[in-house]
Homo-oligomer: A and B are copies of this chain.
Amino acid sequence: MSTHILRIDCPDRAVLIHAITGVLLRHGLNIIANSEFVDPETRRFFMRTEFAGEVDGEALTSELTASLPEGATIRLARAGNRDIVVMVTREPHCPGELFMRHAFNEMGATIRAVISNHDTLEPLARQFGIPFHHVSHEGRTRSAHETALLDVLESYQPEYIVLAKYMRILSPEFVSRYPERIVNIHHSFLPAFIGANPYRQAFERGVKMIGATAHFVTDYLDEGPIIAQGIIPVDHTHTAAEMAHAGRDVEKIVLARALRLVFEERVFLLGARTVIL
Contact = CB atoms under 8 A, between A and B. Distances in A.
Interface in A7-52: 14-15, 17-18, 21-22, 25, 30-41
Contacts of A103: 92, 96, 124
A106 B39 CA distance: 23
B236 A273 contact: yes
Given A18-B18, A104-B92, A226 B208 contact: yes
B229 A205 contact: no
Per DSSP, chain A at the interface is mixed
A237 interface: yes
Contacts of A248: 106
Given A226-B208, A249-B256, A14 B40 contact: no
A272 interface: yes
A205 B256 CA distance: 22
Interface string A183-215: 000000111110000000000111111010000
A36 B34 contact: yes
Contacts of A245: 106
A192 B210 CA distance: 12
Contacts of A257: 249
A27 to B, nearest CB: 12
A270 B33 CA distance: 18
23 contacts: A17-B21, A17-B34, A18-B21, A21-B21, A32-B38, A33-B38, A37-B237, A39-B236, A41-B239, A92-B103, A93-B100, A96-B100, A106-B245, A191-B192, A191-B207, A205-B272, A206-B225, A206-B226, A206-B274, A207-B229, A208-B227, A209-B230, A253-B253
Interface of A: 14-15, 17-18, 21-22, 25, 30-41, 92-93, 96-97, 100, 103-104, 106, 124, 127-128, 189-193, 204-209, 211, 225-231, 235-237, 239, 245, 248-249, 253, 256-257, 270-276
